[in-house]
Amino acid sequence: MFADCENCWYNTLDEEAEEYFCALNLDEDEFFRMLENKSGRCRYFRPFSGEYEIVRKQN
């Protein structure tokens, strides 16, 4: 769908289906607007900076 999904904070592995999906909790209207977006960029994209991102903010 979007080029940045692989690096997104919300990209989650479903071990049963063995595939990744977007774990962002959207209602039907928000999801439709996201799919309809012509720019190809997800406005909910949040880059995954590693497992220690939260710890860095605390220091």
Boundaries of every domain in the chain: 5-58
pLDDT tens digits along 28-40: 998 888 878 777 7
DSSP 21: E
pTM of the model: 0.59
Any bridge partners for residue 21, and if so which? 12
pLDDT tens digits along 39-51: 777 888 888 776 6
